[in-house]
């Protein structure tokens, strides 16, 4: 069965510091992988996605993620975090029908 694990429930980083949010997935075939961001009381915004090809994917707002098949991981990174990046981040895996399975989410706090 498909599943997504985000090991870190809450992460706090200082503004300007680098960020890495972890995501591990379980999926039998080649996965479609996504990272979404959710601000409090809001819907989801797609940061980036991976379907195939280059394993390093660039997204919006300066985020990137790297697909590592050997580690079943799709970690999200940002070199320098801004206060406005504070939000909930969800990793998700999808099948070809578009059905998404979400991880538990990682709440990011940014210290001034």
Partner 1 sequence: GAVVSQHPSWVICKSGTSVKIECRSLDFQATTMFWYRQFPKQSLMLMATSNEGSKATYEQGVEKDKFLINHASLTLSTLTVTSAHPEDSSFYICSATQTATNTGELFFGEGSRLTVL
Applying CB under 8 A, the residues found at the interface with partner 1 are: 32, 36, 41-46, 49, 51, 90, 94-105
Q: What's the closest the beta carbon of residue 73 comes to partner 1, in angstroms? A: 18
Q: What's the closest the beta carbon of residue 16 comes to partner 1, in angstroms? A: 27
Give the residue with the Cβ less far from partner 1, 55 or 80. 55
Q: What's the closest the beta carbon of residue 82 comes to partner 1, in angstroms? A: 22
Q: Which pairs with CB-CB distance under 8 Å and at least 24 residues apart come from 101-104?
A: 101/2, 101/3, 101/4, 102/4, 102/36, 103/4, 103/5, 103/6, 103/23, 104/5, 104/6, 104/9
């Amino acid at each position: 069965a498909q599943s997504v694990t985000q090991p870190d429930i809450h992460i706090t980083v200082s503004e300007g510091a680098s960020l890495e949010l972890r995501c591990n997935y379980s999926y039998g075939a080649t996965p479609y992988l996504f990272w979404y961001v959710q601000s409090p009381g809001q819907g989801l915004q797609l940061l980036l996605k991976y379907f195939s090809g280059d394993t390093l994917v660039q997204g919006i707002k300066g985020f990137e993620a790297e697909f590592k098949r050997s580690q079943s991981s799709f970690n999200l990174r940002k070199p320098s975090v801004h206060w406005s990046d504070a939000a909930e981040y969800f990793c998700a895996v999808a099948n070809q029908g578009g059905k998404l399975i979400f991880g538990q989410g990682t709440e990011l706090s940014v210290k001034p």
